[in-house]
Structure 1
Amino acid sequence: MTTPEPAPRYSERLTPSLWVFLATALVVPASLLVFLPISILAGCLVAVGLYGAIVAVLVATTPTVAVAGDTLRAGRARLPLRFVADVRVATGADAVRERGVGLHADAWLLIRGWIPGLVRVELADPDDPTPYWIISSRHPEELAAAIRG
């Protein structure tokens, strides 16, 4: 019998923003443009089907970030909190730099472009070549506090 996972101190789904769904809706007129000359029914069915598939993939692949017990979970990855050396929050220009020119090639990333804030988790594991994790978050201060506390 397995022990139940403790209740999370912090949990967040990195769902796509409304503008992502609106931008992907451009597949509707594009597919209508291609398929309407063949058949109005085919054009409408393909347009609705493609958009439905895109929405389903976006929702199904939405990762969760959670801190529960002594573990940070980011998507499928798990990090025992004993290996956390430091936690930093980045927003605005700092977040852009962290995701761009300031990014270490060996860093582990869970980045979603539609989420502006992020948390940088420095690692203290001598056996791990990964220097830090970068995790997108809509509430980076709360995530950082949960990791620290």
Structure 2
Amino acid sequence: MQLSAAPYEERLTAPRSWWLISFLVGLSLALILLPFGTLPMLAGLAGGTASAAVVASSYGSIRIRVVGDSLIAGEAKLPVRALGEAHVMDSEEARAWRTHKADTRAFLLLRAYIPTALRVEVVDPEDPTPYLYLSTREPERLAEAIAAAKAAA
């Protein structure tokens, strides 16, 4: 396996507002437990905040990587030779491809809080997936990394 000329790695972290929401979940739980006393209230604040933060962190832990001759996007791992043309999409086009233009057979690595995306055609005749829809903050860089990995393979 050769190393890609343009390695790429991105973690699709949750937005900062989600951390505030995690605190508000803990605060809500603390208010619910307030009639039971100070200790249950503090436990509710800590436990609710921690639980909501774990959920936000795990949802934002998905990574997209181009490593050697493979594209790894969440649970999917494909060799770059099975990939066709990559289409960089702005927010309007990305919204269209995740709604009315979407194919139910496509692999969607979708994060609604990331407006831009990359659509990569799958050219492997054995694979029924027509394309990969990848939410990414840097679609141009990801497309370049895939192209460089295909050229190096």
Alignment TM-score > 0.5, same fold:
yes
What's 2:28 paired with?
30
Kindly report the root-mean-square deviation, in angstroms, between the aligned alpha carbons of the 2 structures. 1.8
What's 1:85 paired with?
84
Greater per-residue helix proportion = 2
Q: 2:57 aligns with which of 59, 63, 67?
A: 59
CA offsets per residue over residues 41-69 of structure 1, 9 Å max, x none?
Answer: 21121121121122123324511101111
Greater RCO (CA < 8 Å, at least 6 residues apart): 2
Query: SS at the partner of 2:71?
Result: strand
AA of the residue aligned to 1:136: S
What's 1:96 paired with?
95
Runs of 4+ in 1 over 6 A off after TM superposition: none
What's 1:50 paired with?
48
Equivalenced residues, count: 146
Tell me by how many angstroms 1:76 deviates. Answer: 2.2
Report % sequence identity.
35
Tell me by how many angstroms 1:33 deviates. Answer: 2.3
Query: SS at the partner of 2:8?
Result: strand
Contact 1:10-1:66 at 8 Å conserved across structures: yes
TM-score of the superposed pair, with normalisation by structure 1: 0.89
Gaps of 5+ in 2: 149-153
